[in-house]
Amino acid sequence: MTALSAHAVATPTTPAQPVPPTAMGHSHAHESAQAQVRGAAPYVDDIPETMGTLHAAPVLSHVAHGRLHGLDASAALALPGVVAVLTTADIPGDPVLAAYTHDEPILATGTVQHVGQVMALVVATDVNTARRAARLVRPHITHLPPVLHAREAHAQASYVLPPVHVARGDAATALGRAPHTLSGAFEVGGQEHFYLEGQIAYALPQEQNQWLIHSSTQHPGEIQHWVAHALGLALHQVRVECRRMGGGFGGKETQSGHLAVWAALAAQHTGRPVKMRLDRDDDFLITGKRHPFSYDYTVGFDDQGRLCGLQLTQLAHCGFSADLSGPVSDRAIFHADNAYFLQDVAISSYRCKTNTQSHTAYRGFGGPQGVIAIETILGDVARHLGLDPLAVRLANLYADEPLTQPLPSVSAHNPTPAQRNVTHYGMAVEDNILLPLIAQLADGCSYQKRKADIAAWNASSPVIQRGLALTPVKFGISFTATQFNQAGALVHVYTDGSVLVNHGGTEMGQGLHTKVAQIVASELGLPLHRVQVSASDTARVPNASATAASSGTDLNGRAAQYAARSVRANLAAFVAGLDGCGAGEVRLVCGRLPGAPADSPAVGLVVTPTTTRLFDDVVQAAYVNRIQLWSDGFYRTPKIHYDKTTLTGRPFYYFSYGAACTEVAIDTLTGESRVLAVDILHDVGHSINPALDIGQVEGAFVQGMGWLTTEELVWAAPDAERNAGALLTRAPSTYKIPAAGDVPEHFNVALWHQPNPEDNVGGSKAVGEPPFMLAISVWEAIRDAVASARAKAGLAGPVKLDAPATAERVLWAVRQ
């Protein structure tokens, strides 16, 4: 073994000087922040175009439902610069997308099923010519009656997937003996993703019938699969790369695959590179949204508001194909309890087929649609009894206490539990921090005092009414499709001591690459700047899952940690041999060399009981001695299992918790509303990067606030004179996301202090999706203000309000 040279050895026996903060567990800037501010962080459309690149544009249906008899492309082909017009006949592989339900054509074939469905592709020498030519293609369509609402589809038994029913106890019997019952129905709208970078793909032919696809995607592996399937290729012939996205929010989990397939088909047909980028209007028309939901419920409860029984029907507006509607609707069932024990419950979920865009993943993935139902029901229960809604929520929380008057379960797969700490799908809530978390938030934001102050204000205010609500969230973390709970990573240590990491996750602005770099830097004892994460690439980490389900850091961070740990073990064994100590006595730390000035930068050090060495010097010596300086890491989430047919078991590794208290004001003359104050306490375990986590909490809350207040999707009615079934709100002029002025000045976010009790990377918890549902406190606060206005006007009965709570709907709810 070649020993380290003399200059590589620091002063023996003197301890190194640690330099806090270390990489993991502290706030660091996003790895691309400076480049993004300077405009130096390239996205797909910024990649220099290869000579001969063509551009593709979609030919869209203007009919919601009809028989497609053919296309007249003569005018488009006559336009100078147009190279080709592709239809389904030009697809060399399967003409149906490689989705798990195999029910969505790549290009419309025989029928059109929504306004905006892509019927053909125009390929031209520049993007403007391609788009202009696409508008010249004339389809021949016979109109058929469209189905545009889930209730209509349900009445016709029109579904993209079979209904699912989950039951525990005996809801019908429990409702019959309940002291009080309420029934109701309401609607919750969808939501446009509105990512800043639209959908885009760039397909480049390579040698020997291989392909390189640059895609703005959350799931490079699925892009690889879909493109290979459409072109009739093996997976190893398609390579997909994504350095970053300008936002995703679930809208680039499956929907990005369409662009990649279309671009690849055009490139295969022409033999030239093809880029396809949707303009914003077309993006709105083509791509799916958050699933709108319709609800019907009957609930039984006692004098304290504790639920005795619940029958809940969820109608998911799925669009014309299944896409991810199955798992989205399943998660809506899983989260129909939110933070509350449901003793005798029956939930029916219908996945309704409508002639609209095929709706898809969106932050929360069905969780918000489940949570809002139970929070709405509890709000109704509290107002019916004249109780504080927070008291009713506290009465229904999961708790380690025995059941009262249990009924035998009507489901043999889902027995009635002995205590109030088991979900309606059979998973024990083992790490319940809901009560202390809510209590800390309520005390910190002076909930009771503000409640009294608002009541006094409302009594004296003739026009403006205020509302206050504190709502919790319990959100399960893991993919419900168990096979996706795995990840791989590569860690390469180069001979100068710098580190390159590649993993299967994708960066969409959430800071995943930053957190993974922090994890690897901490594992190797390096300053963060010595670790870099490269673009997601199917040629490096194969078969990677989508970056979704809030599990990006849990999966990929752990895999990268394992890879780094393997390299660390190699270096420790090497140095232990030099110093005659055990490998366990070798530490890799970030610090300063003994005797170094206090203001000198931190460096990576390798410390044994006798010697402190520079990490860089150890790496060089290890290379000379032929020690492996790279490794792969693989991680699979433990403990999870469940029965897909009964939706029972343990689908989640752990739960994330949080609570938000929101104060709003409404104008009873116009229906306008404003969020006045927000206080949040959220559980992220031991935060890997508090600044990034707080940013995720803030962003998720504001996005959820938009879903429930201003972001209204409107489709033209079936009897509209023109464009029946067309999405009318398809631009910033008509579709309103929250702006800076909508964020209240009082917006406090704090993180819960305890680590994740499960063995997760760094003791952390997921943060991407759970805070989204904290915005349901805005919805409940608005309903609280509406109830006050109605009571003041002498109007009886429950608050009837659909989401989003636009000014028109609020005004209607106040006056009806």
Bridge-partner residues for 66, per DSSP?
Answer: 112, 143
Tell me the CB-side half-sphere exposure of residue 21, using CA atoms within 13 A. 11
Query: Is the separation of the CB atoms in 161 and 351 below 8 Å?
Result: yes
Cα–Cα distance, 380 to 798 (Å, whole number): 7
CA angle in degrees (0–180, nearest 5) for 35-41-46:
155
Amino acid residing at 744:
P
Work out the end-to-end distance of the chain between its first and last CA atoms, rounded to an integer number of angstroms. 86
By the 10 Å C-beta count (0-12 exposed, 13-18 middle, 19+ buried), 531 is classed as: buried
Task: Report yes or no: 522 and 23 within 8 Å, Cβ to Cβ.
Answer: yes
Cα 37 versus chain centre, distance: 25
Choose among 533, 582, 584: nearest CA to 559: 533
Catalytic residue status for 769: yes
Q: Which of 602, 607, 603 is nearest to 583 (CA)?
A: 607
Q: How far is CA 399 from CA 422, 440, 764, in A?
A: 9, 17, 24
Rounded Cα–Cα distance for residues 360 and 350 (Å): 16
Q: Are 682 and 658 in contact (CB under 8 A)?
A: yes
Tokens representing 582?
């055990």
Residue pair 254/578 in contact by the 8 Å Cβ criterion: no
Q: Hey, which bits of 261-337 come out as E strands?
A: 274-277, 293-301, 307-319
The span from the CA of 165 to the CA of 807, in Å, is: 36
Q: Which of 192, 711, 758, 769 is catalytic?
A: 769
**Distance (Å, whole) CA 164 – CA 167:** 10
Q: What are phi and psi of 433, to 5 degrees?
A: -115, 15
207 Cβ contact list (under 8 Å, min separation 6): none
Contact 281, 57 (CB under 8 A): no
Instruction: Say how far apart CA 143 and CA 147 lie, in whole Å.
Output: 12
The tokens of 150 are what?
A: 């889930």
| Residues whose CB is less than 8 angstroms from the CB of residue 283 and which lie 6 or more positions away in sequence, other chains included | 198, 199
* Catalytic residue IDs: 769
